[in-house]
A and B are shown apart, each in its own frame.
Chain A
């Protein structure tokens, strides 16, 4: 069989299998990410069905997947929103960073990794999965809840901090050393500042330049622009992902809305390819030895995330049950944790299996925790004799009020 034909058959089989897995994940209310990772493990070397020809193609697709993940993330937010959130929630954001990055860094150092690899592991434990959290908030009917703005602000700040973290990590991983790292940070900070300024001042002009009522033209323009800027950012050693993120932020309004709808299916396809590729490059036999470490890390970072959410919600004046909801909904880790581990894979081969095991646990366990935490906590609080706020105020319903509880 010619290589081209073989490629088509392999790719078709992979994508079709992902479709079945995605459907299965929806049915049991899971994020599809852990299943994609497992599929990648099965297709990789030493797995159940090793691939022969499509690995190179998947590698390119995975790179596009990362760019699209970050581009769509940037499109979600406007520059104004990012700045307001940074102003209001800087303290909670800083606590989040400190509490959730430290366990990863500490474990990396304990395992005898280089400081750079430990920093990457810190990134793996730091960010919550905004994709899983957003889905949970919507599925569990919590979008209107009063703790939800706090949760969303934490997620926004995490995403914003990625724009600072990724360039530093990329530079350090490239062996640029402290000086090179600082230089990359300066370039990234300057680029970030310029993009925010341009987006705030000339947002309309940019959007008018990019906008087209024709879906096809808009898709090609935005996607092309993102790839171009990502490539240029990579050339400047600032990380392609950050370039794509900045383009997403610079675009707003109608353009962002239309581009989001147009690019989402493309993102879903290439992001799935990315997760499979990550699993593909991870040796399945390397996972069982790190399982205990991953489970311990999962336990610790689940607690630190809950603590972060609890504290941030308490600061916003939310009651105890709301604090539990805010803390547990951000426990799940997913897409960006794998992105970071993927970046560091070449420098520290042991990060891949550990990150894969960790994200498998967290992406499956996080949603389960937040579903069951609320009823369990309600019962515990009652046992502890803590009354809910409404009961404490003792509101008697006014006459004529016949609503159900």
Chain B
């Protein structure tokens, strides 16, 4: 059953995701799992999220709705997405041999302790990108430009050999 107002999009996984505009509220995305359940997310304009699980008896309504604040939805995305990013990187490395993944640590002497990812201008200067940061055994996937480094962070960088060396030089000072 498709909504008339739905726009179908294909996620990178190949699964078709429906996108429906909710005027004045935000957007709803949902898809059907292989086991026949429908799950989705309402993204409020305010940044809040609602995790949706649709009912079995009445597939038009949600049997479970979980409200998430911005930090909570980030955490959930991290839990669901982080291992996948590592997996994807592994396959990418196999497919594109010249692409390298390297872990660089931020030492206490680095000029970027306490400064943001955006400040490094790593991508524009070297072409390599920071895809994740490991901190205290936790993975912060796709850190935003305002992400602030701490000493002891391990930065996961993807790029060419030269690109990664360039980032190492910037971070090392």
Query: How far is the CB of B138 from the nearest CB of chain A, in Å?
Result: 28
B35 touches A319 (CB 8 A): no
B40 touches A144 (CB 8 A): yes
- Given contacts A144-B40, A397-B36, whether A153 and B28 have CB atoms under 8 Å apart is no
**Interface check B22, CB cutoff 8 A:** yes
Chain A 158-183 near chain B by CB (<8 Å), digits 1 or 0: 00000000000000000000000000
Interface size on B, residues (CB 8 A): 34
Closest B residue, CB atoms, query A85 = B23
B20 touches A395 (CB 8 A): no
- Count: A-B pairs, CB below 8 Å: 107
- Given contacts A144-B30, A144-B42, whether A321 and B60 have CB atoms under 8 Å apart is yes
B62 touches A405 (CB 8 A): no
**Interface check B59, CB cutoff 8 A:** yes
Q: Which of A77, A130, A143, A315 has the most CB of B within 10 A?
A: A143
Q: Which of A166-224 contact B (CB under 8 A)?
A: none
B62 touches A318 (CB 8 A): no
**Interface check B71, CB cutoff 8 A:** no
Instruction: Report chain A residues within 8 Å CB of B1.
Output: 146, 317
**Interface check A145, CB cutoff 8 A:** yes
Query: How far is the CB of B28 from the nearest CB of chain A, in Å?
Result: 6
**Interface check A114, CB cutoff 8 A:** no
- Given contacts A81-B21, A81-B23, A149-B21, whether A318 and B56 have CB atoms under 8 Å apart is no
B23 touches A76 (CB 8 A): yes
Instruction: Report chain A residues within 8 Å CB of B21.
Output: 81, 84, 149
Rank and list the top 7 A-B pairs by shortest CB-CB distance, nearest first. A322-B60, A144-B52, A141-B65, A76-B24, A146-B60, A401-B35, A144-B62
- Given pairs A316-B3, A398-B34, 15 additional interface contacts (CB within 8 A): A134-B25, A143-B28, A143-B65, A144-B42, A146-B1, A148-B28, A149-B21, A152-B22, A389-B59, A390-B58, A395-B56, A397-B36, A401-B36, A405-B56, A405-B57
CB-defined A-B contacts under 8 Å, sample of 23: A81-B23, A88-B5, A130-B24, A134-B24, A141-B50, A142-B61, A143-B28, A144-B62, A145-B62, A146-B1, A149-B3, A149-B22, A149-B28, A152-B25, A257-B45, A316-B4, A317-B1, A317-B2, A390-B57, A397-B36, A398-B36, A403-B53, A405-B57
